[in-house]
């Protein structure tokens, strides 16, 4: 099929690569010339392991191309995917201005039937708005060109984007005509059995509800971790025991320093904003976001208490990205941690395998090192922020003599507490108080 994807962010680029890899003809559009020029040279706008090699192949075999001009490319598409961003406005509401702009352009440029599929994460009711915008534009042109509007939310995870796009757990499609339904079945023919056809409004809500529920699991276990420290229980064991119940499941019960990234913080806020607009409060979700907003501070208070105070203390921050296997630092807990440390006059040396350049732009004055070992030199404490494999698997026997004080604060419960204690560290994790 001929597909045009509008918005070369994480979702758009990955979706484009996945469809092109299945043999579809894909054009990826973005107004950012620099991004498109780099894509032409097989350079991704983000880090995702293994994706650039595939990008190169798909450009070479002609299945994937790029453009900054929707008007030039729209005629060749049977299906248009909208994958532009929906960032939060200051009040938490999803900013739909780019989505609406794209819808307006579609209404202005189409000459024949198109399927317009929204993959961007949008509040319930956006599908109807898009339909109206396209109809309005067509009316201005005095045209009655038929089109279908669909919702097909994306569930891929950063760091595993390609795998998720190629092997989805489920494909949710909101559509209201038989023609569109048959075309989507043909598009996803290899994953046919995984499709859930539903209404557009249900598909839109499924996306928000899924992210809100995963965020709920994380905040639940993080809050429980705080209690575990008071009761002498070990949250790692508690999560393991809970997860054995198939109705609960073990995933997303890893206690830590809170969820970050471009999705959970934004999408929970947008769902809360929608709830407010509809005068139907979501009390659980309010608590979920509150726990997340306070989790770093709760952790840092532990660090401060252990070290006495933080003024002039040298802190090694290991990991800056919101999770491993990505260079994304959006809403990363590391940023809140840096703010806290700077406010308390601590001295920071930071290391991350992929995220340092981005953090440098926000905090140019802290020290960045090109190895984790250098960050540890003369540090009063090591803070493990992101559970990169290379950080977990450091030679911790080599790290210890570099330190001024043998404190390790493990923000992800990624290290084995008893091994660390045996090595002579003073170890603190999340939700468990290891005895020496």
Active site residues: 263
Judged by CB under 6 A, the stretch of 44-52, 181-189, 254-262, 268-276 that binds ligand UGA is 254-262
Choice from 107, 256, 353, 355 touching ligand UGA (CB under 6 A): 256
Q: Which is nearer to ligand UGA, 125 or 250 (CB)?
A: 250
Name which of residues 55 to 74 contact ligand UGA (CB under 6 A). Answer: none
Q: Is residue 200 within 8 Å of 176, Cβ to Cβ?
A: yes
Judged by CB under 6 A, the stretch of 67-75, 255-263, 403-411, 413-421 that binds ligand UGA is 255-263
Cβ neighbours of residue 171 closer than 8 Å, sequence gap 6 or more:
152, 188, 191, 194, 195, 196
Q: Is residue 44 within 8 Å of 14, Cβ to Cβ?
A: no
- Could you give the CA distance from residue 271 to residue 285 in angstroms, rounded to a whole number? 9
CB atoms within 10 A of CB 188: 18
Judged by CB under 6 A, the stretch of 37-45, 252-260, 278-286, 402-410 that binds ligand UGA is 252-260
CB of 219 to ligand UGA, least distance (A): 9
CB of 128 to ligand UGA, least distance (A): 22
CB of 212 to ligand UGA, least distance (A): 10
431 binds ligand UGA (CB under 6 A): no
Name which of residues 84 to 143 contact ligand UGA (CB under 6 A). Answer: 121
157 binds ligand UGA (CB under 6 A): yes
CA distances 111 to 74, 178, 239, 372, 415, Å, are 9, 21, 55, 57, 59
- Could you give the CA distance from residue 341 to residue 304 in angstroms, rounded to a whole number? 9
Within the chain, what is the greatest distance between any pair of CA atoms? 78
219 binds ligand UGA (CB under 6 A): no
264 binds ligand UGA (CB under 6 A): yes
420 binds ligand UGA (CB under 6 A): no
For 243-301, what is the HEC assignment? HCCCCCCCCCCCCCCCCCCCCHHHHHHHHHHHHHHCCCCCHHHHHHHHHHHHHHHHHHH
- Could you give the CA distance from residue 204 to residue 209 in angstroms, rounded to a whole number? 9
218 binds ligand UGA (CB under 6 A): yes
CB of 296 to ligand UGA, least distance (A): 11
CB of 163 to ligand UGA, least distance (A): 12
Q: Which chain residues interact with ligand UGA by CB under 6 A?
A: 121, 154-158, 211, 214, 218, 252-254, 256, 259-261, 263-264, 322-323
């Amino acid at each position: 099929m001929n597909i045009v994807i509008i918005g070369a962010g994480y979702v758009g680029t990955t979706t484009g690569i996945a469809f092109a890899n299945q043999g579809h003809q894909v054009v990826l559009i973005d107004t950012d010339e620099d991004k498109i020029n780099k894509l032409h040279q097989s350079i991704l706008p983000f880090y995702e392991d293994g994706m650039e090699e595939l990008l190169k192949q798909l450009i070479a075999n002609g299945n994937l191309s790029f453009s900054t001009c929707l008007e030039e490319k729209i005629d060749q598409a049977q299906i248009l995917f909208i994958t532009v961003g929906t960032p939060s406005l200051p009040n938490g509401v999803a900013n739909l201005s780019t989505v609406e702009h794209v819808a307006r352009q579609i209404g202005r440029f189409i000459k024949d039937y198109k399927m317009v599929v929204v993959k961007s994460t949008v509040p319930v009711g956006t599908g109807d708005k898009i339909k109206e915008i396209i109809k309005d534009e067509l009316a201005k042109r005095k045209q009655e060109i038929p089109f279908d509007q669909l919702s097909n939310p994306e569930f891929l995870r950063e760091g595993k984007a390609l795998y998720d796009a190629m092997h989805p757990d489920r494909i949710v499609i909101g559509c209201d005509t038989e023609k569109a339904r048959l075309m989507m079945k043909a598009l996803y023919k290899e994953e046919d059995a995984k499709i859930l056809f539903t209404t557009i409004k249900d598909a839109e809500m499924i996306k928000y509800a899924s992210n809100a529920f995963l965020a709920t699991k994380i905040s639940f276990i993080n809050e429980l971790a705080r209690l575990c420290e008071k009761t002498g229980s070990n949250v790692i064991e508690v999560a393991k025991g809970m997860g054995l119940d198939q109705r609960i499941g073990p995933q997303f019960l890893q206690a830590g320093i809170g969820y970050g990234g471009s999705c959970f913080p934004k999408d929970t806020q947008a769902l809360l904003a929608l709830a407010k607009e509809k005068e139907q409060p979501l009390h659980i979700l309010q608590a979920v976001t509150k726990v997340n907003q306070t989790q770093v501070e709760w952790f840092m208070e532990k660090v401060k208490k252990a070290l006495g105070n933080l003024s002039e203390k040298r802190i090694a921050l290991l990991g800056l990205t919101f999770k491993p296997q990505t260079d994304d630092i959006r809403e990363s807990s590391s940023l809140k941690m840096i703010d806290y440390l700077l406010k308390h006059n601590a001295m920071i040396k930071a290391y991350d395998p992929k995220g340092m350049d981005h953090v440098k732009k926000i905090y140019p004055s802290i020290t960045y090192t090109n190895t984790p070992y250098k960050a540890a030199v003369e540090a009063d404490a090591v803070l493990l922020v992101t559970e990169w494999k290379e950080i977990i698997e450091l030679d911790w026997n080599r790290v210890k003599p570099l330190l001024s004080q043998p404190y390790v604060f493990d923000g992800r419960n990624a290290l084995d507490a008893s091994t660390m204690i045996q090595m002579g560290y003073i170890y603190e994790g999340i939700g468990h108080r290891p005895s020496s």
